[in-house]
Amino acid sequence: MPTRRKKKLGSYPTLLVVFSITLALVVIGLFGLLLLHAHKLSERVRENLEVQVYLERDLPETELLRLQQDLEHQPYVAVSNGRPQVYFVSKEEGARQLLQSTGEDYRAFLDDNPLRDAYALKIRPEYTDTTHLRLLSRSLSSQRGVFEVQYPKTLFDSINQNLTKVSLVLVSFAVVLVIVVVVLINNTIKLALYSQRFLIRSMQLVGATRFFIQRPFLRRATWQGFASGLLAALVLLALLQYAYLELAELKLLRDDRLTGLLLAIVVGLGTVIGFLSSYRAVNKYLGVSLDELY
């Protein structure tokens, strides 16, 4: 008769532990990627909002150039590809835009163009709250050659309020998810070490010190946490690349620096939780009586 291999008493389910931790870290990593892309989307929305700086009539070219250079050096002006987002809109261009958007032509009623030359500014996301907008509006209005400053206040307020609400909801879910994942990984390692409780007691009975007993378990759990975090990071990276291939527009929200930081956090989280969970579980079995082991 063929002999059956018996499962060794106290064997440690390494693959099961690594798989469970990896799966938990992938879940939290996916939510982290969702938060990152939601953050980038909110920045994109805010950056596309404009402040209109209307100018006094008949300003000389030198004054227009001075004003443009001054606006480009303001800290609240957004920068894209190293270029400040300041655009000159002549009154003729403004009339064409008005005709396209409303279908109304001022020439049917007036002989002279009533519009003014203007500069359109795109604002950094951190300056789009009500307080900063009010301050920069006052600052711009005091500039020589500026007639009026306008921005869609209601639109700015509505976007800020909605983005704040969405951010609070996502962060709340993220906190709950982190707690659930930590508890799940902790319980997985605790259950895995349950099969090692008699081995721990045997080492204790022959006079091994606490550190000598803890060391192999902590080293193994730490490496398992690190390996699980690395596997989770690779899975997340593969899923992200697939998403970019399927949804080309998603690349507009890409941020390699923050994504790399998130993947490093996932690896670090797996390593730290693996170590701490194993430390707690080993100490628990070191401190219980023989009757409590059964």
Among the residue ranges 207-211, 246-250, 266-270, 281-285, the one predicted with the least confidence is 207-211
pLDDT in tens, 163-183: 778 878 888 888 888 888 788
Ranges of each domain in the chain = 14-43+159-293, 50-151
Query: What is the b/e burial string over 94-123, where b = at least 16 CB atoms within 10 angstroms of the residue's CB?
Result: bbeeeeeeeeeeeeeeeeeeebbbbbebbb
Q: Is the per-residue pLDDT at 226 higher than 90?
A: yes
Q: Which two tokens stand for residue 145?
A: 């050659």
Rounded Cα–Cα distance for residues 233 and 14 (Å): 19
Mean pLDDT over the full length of the chain = 79
If pLDDT is split at 50, 70 and 90, which confidence band does 227 have? very high
Handedness of CA 203, 208, 214, 217 (dihedral sign): negative
Q: What pTM did the predictor assign?
A: 0.69
pLDDT computed for residue 37 by the predictor: 86
Q: Is the per-residue pLDDT at 264 higher than 90?
A: yes
CB-count exposure of residue 41 (10 Å: 0-12, 13-18, 19+): middle
Cβ-based neighbour number of residue 45 at 10 Å:
15
Detail the DSSP E strand segments found in the chain.
Answer: 50-55, 79-80, 83-84, 86-89, 118-122, 146-150
pLDDT computed for residue 234 by the predictor: 95
pLDDT, mean of residues 87-104: 71
Percentage of the chain modeled with pLDDT above 70: 79
pLDDT in tens, 70-85: 888 888 888 888 888 8
pLDDT computed for residue 104 by the predictor: 62
Q: Is the per-residue pLDDT at 7 higher than 60?
A: no
Identify which has the larger pLDDT, 22 or 106: 22
If pLDDT is split at 50, 70 and 90, which confidence band does 276 have? confident
Indicate the fold that domain 50-151 takes in CATH: Alpha-Beta Plaits (3.30.70)
Nearest to 279 by CA among 207, 193, 206, 201: 193
Nearest to 145 by CA among 233, 195, 70: 70
If pLDDT is split at 50, 70 and 90, which confidence band does 2 have? very low
Identify which has the larger pLDDT, 19 or 115: 19
Handedness of CA 76, 83, 257, 29 (dihedral sign): positive
